[in-house]
Chain A
């Protein structure tokens, strides 16, 4: 019996190896197809394209309406026999934050803070894009163009502390920093049509060409959806993207070899993991069982947003506490992942952040009435992924060419971790891989200095080919 099983397993493995090989050969030609498609579909940016300076208004009327709604908030009670945050955002803590939000939070000052970096709005392909454009140390000799991309439920000002740190600590580099908001997010609104990461990639590239010229090169730092966009852009424009630095690498789910190795990982971890990764329990965290459990525990929101964004959006559009609980739960669980740190904690760990910062995120989604359009991005992306697959333009599974340097910042408290070995199978130009022990999902928001150090180290490596 055991012998037969053994023979069967070998047969299966050999089949898989042949299949993987065949798929890889296919993928090279697919990459060329994508580059060609990208060239043919490039968005024209010419003299008629104009960006408008943009300042955020303190809208007193809207602010009063928000406070009125807050004062009418209806709460519900927490379960007495369950640790707080085990069932999602704790209702008692929500009440505390709502009281602060309505009575102490100073939105006017926050608006001033949000306006501390120059912002613009531009229409590209009939889509409004809001972005920050700031130049650090303009007289420095070395010039680096860089896109900072975040995701959901983030906000562009999450990068402000990082920008400040970049300016003060790298006086010999002039960073041309662009922080766009994904269409449908915050001031990249209104958006009344579908929009997916491939389109976003094309528009962000058009934005960079508008700002820095048709032959400009640029780096990308991407978190959350930003990582996905940062992965797609070099697939489309390998000659323009100097390098990408991401916190959330996506490995190909359909790569059979990868999947087989994932199965074997818990049994022979030292084959695939470095000492550091072994130390940090990557073998159990990256096992298929662990990933499935994590997916079950944490991805209800994802499942719902990818299928029914409007249904859940209505409550969040109309109820400030609804918006707060839904969004800030992510800042809790995705920053302090190991459940024992959150479960039973009255604040779900959120006291680590400044209340004003968290409420500014919420108020920004609220004032721009963009929560639903931000969630629709998930549904749009899935539909688009299936469409692209049908056309044999499978962006989301193909590798990123070896010619594009990749740096990864692996934050240990993020939802998932991915070991170097598995990232390398898709990001062929992986040259930097840093494990950040105290880091979570919102890398730059939580750890601006550490994130910038990782990023600039990566850029330096590429620029000076160290």
Chain B
């Protein structure tokens, strides 16, 4: 009986390997086709394209409305026999934050802080893009163009501390920095049509060409959706992308036979697929680990990718609802499951004003729904077909160096050995102790140093 099972398994595996191999051969020629398509379909940016300077207003009327709504907040009680944060954002802690928000939080000062770097808005492909454009140490000899890309639920000003750090600690480099907001996020609004990560990639590249020049090279640092968009940029424009530095290799790129075989191996022989450091950090990559991740952590992803408007209604109308939903991500995303049982979900480690600034920014721009729609858009546009449908699975050619910096509590994990198969020039791979998903927010210095080291290696 067992022998027969064994023979069956071997047969199945051999079949799978042949299949994987065949699929891989197909893919190389396709990558060239995609690069050609990208060249032909670049969005034109020319003299007629104009960017407008942009400053954030302190809207007193909206601020008072927000406070009025907060004063009318209706709460409910936590379960007595369930640990804090086990069922989501703890109701008692939420009440505490709401009281602070309505009575002590100084939004006006925060707006001044948000305006400390020059911002602009531009219309590309009929889509409004808001971005920060700042040049550090303009007289320095070495010039490097960089895009800093965030995701959901992040914010462009999450990078401010990193920009400051780069300016002060790398005086011999002039960084030409652009921090765009994804269409539908923050001031990249209003957005009334479907724009998905693929469209965003084309738009961001157009923006880069607008700011840096038509043929100039640029480097990209990406987190969350920014990581995915970075990989898209690398695959579409390998000539112009000097290198990409990402904190969250998109797990969806690795749903292929090859990676799944690794996950299968990881189920029974975990040490065979992980590096020593990965083992030390307690990372796992196996079928059961992936299943557990999908079931336990991706409820929000599932609903946002199918019915964002149903859940958006409440969060556009209730500041409290918005706070609980978004800050839960800052809790679990930064500290993992360790937050269960903690009254504050670990959030007291962060500066309250910093957290509330993010929430108020989402509130003031009324963008929670449009930002969540990005998830649905990513699936909605699949019917547009090639190359959108295949891009995620493609490899990044050796022309584009990839640097990966993974923080210990990052939401998902893909091992080095699996990354190497897709990122053909994986020039840097670092694991960082203590740190989570919102790297720019939590560890601006670490990502800056690592990013710049990566760039120097690539140049």
Contact = CB atoms under 8 A, between A and B. Distances in A.
B310 A88 contact: yes
B321 A72 contact: no
B194 A194 contact: no
Interface string A228-244: 00000000000000000
B87 A76 contact: no
Contacts of B297: 307
A83 to B, nearest CB: 11
A296 B302 CA distance: 7
B193 A379 contact: no
Contact of B299 (A91, A298, A307, A317): A307
B87 A88 contact: no
A108 interface: no
A301 interface: yes
Interface in B58-114: 65, 68-69, 72-82, 87-91, 94
A299 interface: yes
A167 interface: no
Interface in B139-191: 190
Interface stretch (B45-53, B260-268, B368-376, B437-445): B368-376
A194 B83 CA distance: 11
A297 B306 contact: yes
Given A87-B376, A307-B299, A312-B88, A325 B309 contact: yes
Nearest to B82: A194
Contacts of A11: 4, 8
Contact of A300 (B72, B306, B315): B306
Interface size class of B (residues with CB under 8 A): 35 or more
Contacts of A297: 306
B276 interface: no
Contacts of A190: 77
A113 interface: no
Contact of A194 (B81, B303, B304, B309): B81
A89 B82 contact: no
B257 interface: no
Contact of A298 (B78, B306, B325): B306
A315 B314 contact: yes
B72 A317 contact: no
A310 interface: yes
A69 interface: yes
A2 interface: no
Contact of A308 (B8, B88, B305, B321): B88
Interface in B312-332: 312-318, 320-325, 328
Contacts of A326: 310-311, 313-314
Residue from the set A193, A312, A320 with the largest chain B CB neighbour count within 10 Å: A312
Contact of B302 (A12, A303, A321): A303
B192 A321 contact: no
A320 B11 CA distance: 58
Contacts of B69: 72
A249 interface: no
Contacts of B78: 192, 310
Contacts of A75: 313, 316-317
Contact of A329 (B77, B302, B310, B323): B310
Contact of B76 (A12, A89, A307, A373): A373
A322 B321 contact: yes
A370 to B, nearest CB: 9
B366 A76 contact: yes
Contact of A87 (B77, B81, B94, B309): B309
Contacts of B74: 65, 317-318, 369
A314 interface: yes
Contact of B313 (A308, A319, A369, A373): A319
B317 A309 contact: no
B314 A321 contact: yes
A254 B94 CA distance: 40
A308 B328 contact: yes
A11 B6 CA distance: 12
A312 B313 contact: no
Given A192-B80, A314-B320, A307 B313 contact: no
B137 to A, nearest CB: 41
Contacts of A87: 307-309, 373, 376
Residue from the set B190, B296, B311 with the largest chain A CB neighbour count within 10 Å: B311
Contact of B303 (A193, A301, A317): A301
B380 interface: yes
Interface in A182-201: 190, 192-194
B310 A74 contact: no
Contacts of B90: 310
Contacts of B323: 314
Contacts of A42: none
Contact of A315 (B295, B296, B309, B324): B324
A72 B87 contact: no
Contacts of A192: 77-80
B317 A194 contact: no
Contact of A81 (B193, B320, B322): B193
B298 interface: yes
A80 B192 contact: yes
A194 B78 CA distance: 11
Contacts of B94: 314
A76 B369 contact: yes
A309 B314 contact: no
B300 interface: yes
A376 B313 contact: no
A81 to B, nearest CB: 4
A73 to B, nearest CB: 5
Interface of B: 4, 8, 11, 65, 68-69, 72-82, 87-91, 94, 190, 192-194, 295-300, 302-318, 320-325, 328, 366, 368-370, 373, 376, 380
The 8 closest A-B pairs by CB, nearest first: A322-B314, A315-B321, A300-B303, A311-B88, A315-B314, A88-B307, A88-B310, A310-B88
24 contacts: A68-B72, A73-B317, A74-B317, A77-B192, A79-B373, A82-B194, A87-B309, A88-B306, A300-B302, A304-B299, A308-B87, A308-B299, A309-B88, A310-B87, A311-B325, A312-B303, A314-B320, A315-B315, A317-B75, A317-B321, A318-B321, A319-B315, A325-B309, A372-B76
Given A192-B80, A315-B317, 14 more contacts: A72-B69, A74-B65, A76-B370, A80-B192, A86-B380, A94-B313, A192-B78, A300-B302, A300-B303, A301-B310, A313-B76, A322-B313, A329-B310, A369-B76
